[in-house]
Amino acid sequence: MKYNNPVIKGFYPDPSVCKAENTYYLVCSSFQYFPGVPIFESKDLINWKPIGHCLTRESQIQLGRVDSSGGVFAPTIRYNNGRFYMTTTNNSTHQNFYVWTDDIYGEWSEPIHVDQGGIDPDLYFEDGKVFFMSNGKDDNGIDGIVQCEIDIETGVKLSPSHSIWQGTGGRYLESPHMYKINGLYYLMASEGGTEYGHMVTYARGDSISGPFEAYPNNPVLTNRNLGGYELQGVGHGDLIQDNDGNWWMLHLGFRQIGRWLTFHHLGREVFLTPITFGEDGWFTAGHNGTTLTSFETDRISDEILQQEKKIYTFENTDWKLDWCYLRHPAYEHYLLRPDTVTLKGTEVTLDAAASPTFIGIRQRNFSAEISCDVQLTNGEAGFTLYMDENHHYDLAVCKDEHGYKVIERLNIGDIKSIEHKVDLGSNNHAALIIRASHERYSFFIHADGQDIPLGTAQTRYLSTEVAGGFTGVLIGLYACGEGSMAEFSKFKCVYH
């Protein structure tokens, strides 16, 4: 069969995967968004559905006033003796920790911290022992992939932290994962930075603590030399063996807005690439060491159809699974119903590294039409295309001493400009529309049976290349201004 990449679209970076019985489970980074660490489930590796989050309580993760792209960094999920473990980093507090659950659909434990620095932690279970790995410096100040043995009940170190591999020389050695395959230990990591030079490398050895011999043809997977190729930034992978014995890598990558336009704003997404072991025990990845937007494979039955959801509404999404908040929300400001949402604004705006009244869903494809009806009582409320507090486009209804109006506001770094206004008089209701393409967003208000254009803005100014950071655009509903109140209805996001 032929499957298409990415297998999970939109801002879901740093995937990690495990298998329990005949089901695959995958987690991703969430940074400043809450709840933290989304969980997906699949039976076939190409169709993934959200089932929950690992971090659902403020006691589990302190987000406070963390900056955008702070908070929860790359997680790892593992399954051992009937229990799931997820380990991650709160990069804002520089703490590595893990949580666990016996019910993947239920709540997870309180955090158990490990006194080892670095980021991108990994857990490896073998013969009753548990090894913890991250990147950084060991107890002797040596850089590399750092490993120690821990007590899984308490997180206490049972051995010193020791640097076991220094990679192949690429910058930002990160995302270590350990596997034992056919009697050998394989240590996989990423180098080059999670940008256009990103790459997956690996080494192997006879002992879990090394020494490790690097794969002679590293990097095993990268798209860094494919100029003019829309799929870039490939790296940060995790291996999984399917029920038929085939090996795969789930990893991140991103899609440029155009073949020669090196900007991406949808965030880093989840890709699936086949892995093949040779007779010498080394494995190769993808098509000549690259990943593709589609793969033809006989490893997946032709009877399995890759499904893609094209329409998102209030009615066919789940507030707890598909939507998220900025940092820790004040839940009393949100009334979430099956077909409408009422938001109560505060003085906190989208420009603050705090928690404005905001609930968002990831933008998953370049081409889309997004629409919603907004009825405002006071203040300001509407749509935002949100990358971070300094980079977002707003289409909103607002009230001042002269009545109501619809505004199109562009926020690009230090430049914050209301580009267009449409006066509504005493009418406090508006039907708002955003049409998205690869290169532009176009803003409209629907009135008197027609779409009235307010203007356009380039997508590149919401891209990582402009804004920086590690996230992607969310389609947000928001309200701000003391005493503001708004009701949203008829939300629809249609991807083309």
245 shares a domain with 337: no
Quote the pLDDT of residue 92: 87
CA distance 377 to 428: 7
Active-site residue 174, yes or no?
yes
Domain with residue 283: its CATH number is: 2.115.10.20
Question: What are the b/e assignments for 415-440, b being 16+ CB within 10 Å?
Answer: eeeeebebebeeebebbbbbbbebee
Whether 331 maps to a domain, the answer reads yes
* Strand partners for 336: 341
Q: Classify burial at 242, counting beta carbons within 10 Å of its beta carbon; exposed 0-12, middle 13-18, buried 19 or more.
A: middle
pTM for the whole thing?
0.98
**Catalytic residue flag (residue 67):** no
Q: Residues 433, 326: one domain?
A: yes
pLDDT for 410 equals: 98
- Residue 245 domain-assigned (yes or no): yes
Q: What is the CATH number of the domain that holds 397?
A: 2.60.120.200
**Final residue of a domain: which of 265, 296, 327?**
296
274 in a structural domain: yes
Condensed to tens digits (0 to 9), the pLDDT of residues 279-313 reads 999 999 999 999 999 999 999 999 999 999 999 99
Confirm whether 318 is domain-assigned: yes
In the block, residue with structure tokens 């997820």: 86
| 392: containing domain | 311-495
Strands 340-344 and 474-495: what pairing? antiparallel
Both structure tokens of 306: 């890759």
Domain membership of residue 373 (yes or no) is: yes
Q: How far apart are CA 430 and CA 374, in angstroms?
A: 5
Which of 296, 330, 353 is the last residue in one of the domains? 296
Cβ(343)–Cβ(479) below 8 Å:
yes
* Judgement on whether residues 353 and 268 belong to the same structural domain of the protein: no
Using DSSP's 3-state secondary structure scheme, residue 462 falls into: helix
351 and 279 in a single domain? The answer is no
How many other C-beta atoms are found inside a 10 Å radius of the C-beta of residue 132? 25
315 and 287 both lie in a single domain: no
247 and 357 housed in the same domain = no
Q: Are 357 and 344 in contact (CB under 8 A)?
A: yes
Number of domains in the chain: 2
In angstroms, the first-to-last Cα distance of the chain is: 23
Domain identity same for 398 and 421? yes
Please indicate, yes or no, whether residues 291 and 321 belong to a single structural domain of this protein: no
* 263 and 355 together in one domain: no
DSSP labels, 172-202: S-EEEEEEEETTEEEEEEEES-SSTT-EEEE
Sequential DSSP letters for 208-245: TT---EEPTT--SB--TT-TT-SEEEEEEEEEEE-TTS
371 is a domain residue: yes
Whether residue 329 has a cis bond before it, omega within 30° of 0? no
* Paired tokens of 365: 């494809």
pLDDT at position 331 is 98
From 296, 322, 348, give the residue that closes a domain: 296
Query: Looking at residue 274, what is its pLDDT?
Result: 98
Task: Look at residue 232 and tell me if it is in a domain.
Answer: yes
Catalytic one of 120, 149, 174, 230:
174
Does any domain span residue 305? no
Are residues 167 and 79 part of one domain?
yes
Indicate whether 212 and 333 sit together in one domain: no
Residues in the chain, pLDDT under 50: none
Q: Are residues 206 and 261 in the same domain?
A: yes
